[in-house]
Amino acid sequence: MIDQIPPALAICTRTFGGLLFGAAAFGKIRHHVAFQGVFENYRLTPPFATPVLAYGLIGAEALVALSLLTGLGLTAGALGAMALLGLFALAIAINLVRGRDDIDCGCFQSTLRQQLSWAHVVRNLAYATLMNCLLLPRAPVTSALDLVDGVGAGLAFFALGQVFESLWSLRGGVRKLVKRFG
């Protein structure tokens, strides 16, 4: 059993999580009108509350990103990340159980649309589990190599996640083409 998690793992998790939530908040701000429609399409809140709740979600994601990237209020940032990821997983799962898998995930508000799937639920729960390591005792950073390793791994993990998200969103378009042109 490990008494403390390695500093590079904590830095990797913070970097990955900060970039994840930062990119999500930025995309939602950039496409705020479309995001309000995506938010409302989940049909989990009253329509009149959509603008306030959608902007509140963007603000929460931005605060989590800031906390994880700076380390300020790290426990609150990690708990916030876990709570948001859990809520996202729950919202997606509710809509999948309702049979509403044709709506857009709205995760990063990119130009690539992603239909809801159980893979999104699993992904969000896996990310929430990863954020849990920030609540565990961490060994102190003892060298610049810990910092370089952690930031590099976090950047790589984030980049691979973005590539996977892009490829995942393209699969719906490929299915449509196959149906159309057989």
**Cβ(44)–Cβ(94) below 8 Å:** yes
| Assessment of whether the complete model's pTM goes beyond 0.95 | no
Is position 1 within any domain?
Answer: no
Tens digit of each residue's pLDDT (9 = 90 or more) over 14-71: 999 999 999 999 999 998 888 888 889 999 999 999 999 999 999 999 999 999 999 9
Query: For position 181, what pLDDT does the model report?
Result: 76
Is position 52 within any domain?
Answer: yes
Q: Spell out the alpha helix ranges (H) of the chain.
A: 7-30, 32-41, 50-70, 74-97, 118-131, 144-181
How far from 4 is each of 9, 34, 82, CA to CA, in Å? 10, 43, 20
Is position 177 within any domain?
Answer: yes
Domain that holds residue 113: 7-181
Rg (CA), the chain: 18
Is position 2 within any domain?
Answer: no
115 forms bridges with which residues in the sheet? 104
How many domains does one find in the chain?
A: 1
